Structures are given as structure tokens and as C-alpha cells.
Amino acid sequence: MSQLSQRNIDILKIIVEEYLTTWELIGSKALLKKYNLWVSPATVRNDMARLETLKLIYQPYNSAWRLPTSKGIRAFVNYLMQQYPDYFLWEERKYVKENYKELTDYIHQIVFELGNMTGEIAFCIIPEKSILEYIGIAHFISQNYKRLGDDILNIIKMLENKRNFTDFIAQFPISEGVNVFIGEENIIPFLKDYTIILKSVLINGEVGYIGIIGWMKMNYSFNISAVRGII
């Protein structure tokens, strides 16, 4: 966000957080009524115009309200990543491999807990062991079937085909730590309104991947921490 002033960043954060938590648009007057920024409505409108110029927010329906673009959500997530949200970075890890007799039991437990915490589709892949564990399809369908339609079948087919899903994940430019792929960054067209949060892990000496798939309107701070801290 180097091109933005601190007030620009604060306003972008407010617009994105309002969108993610309330699913509602917000304009300059409503923003000032709810948040004390100590500036005039004209100043906020100028800041919003700046954010629009950078394609971080947009104005739907020729109204006074604003919504974040996927680029705006990406900027917000990059800011979050710099803040290191640590909800689940426990000093003593809850899910220690030595507590489980079988690797599959261990994988199942961490995926189950990650899905429960986030409410998203949680998964873990260990390619060399041909392991793919996932959970959360039923909840995902109940939340998204009206919007996704037939694309739900594509997502289920993708998860059920172990090789294809492993190949799909392998296409991402995965760096150390938590990686967040938003909207069109997901490669597959029917996931353009969804986000994948992902990190590589080392289990029993084998490289694997653990993460979640969810709608773009998710709690990024909470979910990034959950993926970072689960294992």
C-alpha cells in the first residue's frame, strides 16, 4: 500500500471490513457516522476517489456507495499478513504427531478442527503418500448453492479426484508461510469468487499442503491465523 496515505489505508480497511462482515456497501456519510476519522465528507470522498483510481474500490449502480474490488481485498490481506494475526499460534501445539498411532488419524484430526474453526472447506494433501483429506462440503453447499449452481458439482469433483486436486494445488506459487489466493488468482474460473488460504507443511518427512477454500467474503484475519497455527 505504498501509494496510499495512512488515511487512505484506514478508509480502505473500513470499506473492506464492512463488506466482509456485514456484506453491505458504505458511503462517505455512513462511514463518517460510524467511524470517527476527524475529517470532512469531502475529504473522505477524495480519498475514495483515490482508491477508485487505483482500482481498489468501485462505485456500483452510479450511487454514493462503494465496494472493494478483489484487488482491494488483496491489498487488505497483504496488510493483515504484515500484522501477523496470532489467534492460534499456541506455545504448545495441540495436534502433535506423536499423539496419534496412524498418520491418517492425525491428518483427519487437524483437518476436522480446521474446518470446525473456520466454517470453510478444510483440506490436507500429502502427495507422496497419496493422502487427501477434506471436510466441510455439506456446510459449503448449504451456504453457496444459490450462487454457485452447477459449479458446486465441479468443486466436489475436483476434491474427489485426488490426482487432479493435488495437481491443481501444485500450480500455485507457494512461498514459505501462509499463502492467500483471492478470486481470479485461483486459476480455475469457477473459483473466481472464492479464496484459498494455503501453506506447505512437513509431516513425517514428507512435504504436504494444508488449507481452506471459502467464499471471498471470509474472515481473513481469523482464517489466516487458523491455517498458520493449526500445525
Q: Which of 52, 83, 114 is the last residue of a domain?
A: 83
Element (DSSP H or E) covering residue 196: strand 194-203
Note whether 46 and 118 are same-domain residues. no
Backbone angles phi, psi at 71, to 5 degrees: -65, -40
The CATH number linked to 195 is 3.30.450.40
Digit-coded pLDDT (tens) for 19-61: 877 766 677 777 777 777 777 778 888 888 888 888 888 877 6
pTM of structure:
0.75
Residue 184 lies in a domain: yes
Note whether 57 and 115 are same-domain residues. no
Residue 88 lies in a domain: no
**Cα atoms found within 13 Å of the Cα of residue 112, Cβ hemisphere only:** 7
Note whether 132 and 207 are same-domain residues. yes
SS3 180: strand
Note whether 108 and 210 are same-domain residues. yes
Which residue segment(s) compose the domain that 12 sits in? Answer: 6-83
Note whether 121 and 175 are same-domain residues. yes
Digit-coded pLDDT (tens) for 154-176: 778 888 888 888 888 888 888 88
Residue 1 lies in a domain: no
> How many folded domains does the chain comprise?
2
Instruction: Pick the more confident residue, 29 or 15.
Output: 15
Contact present, 186 and 151 (Cβ < 8 Å):
no
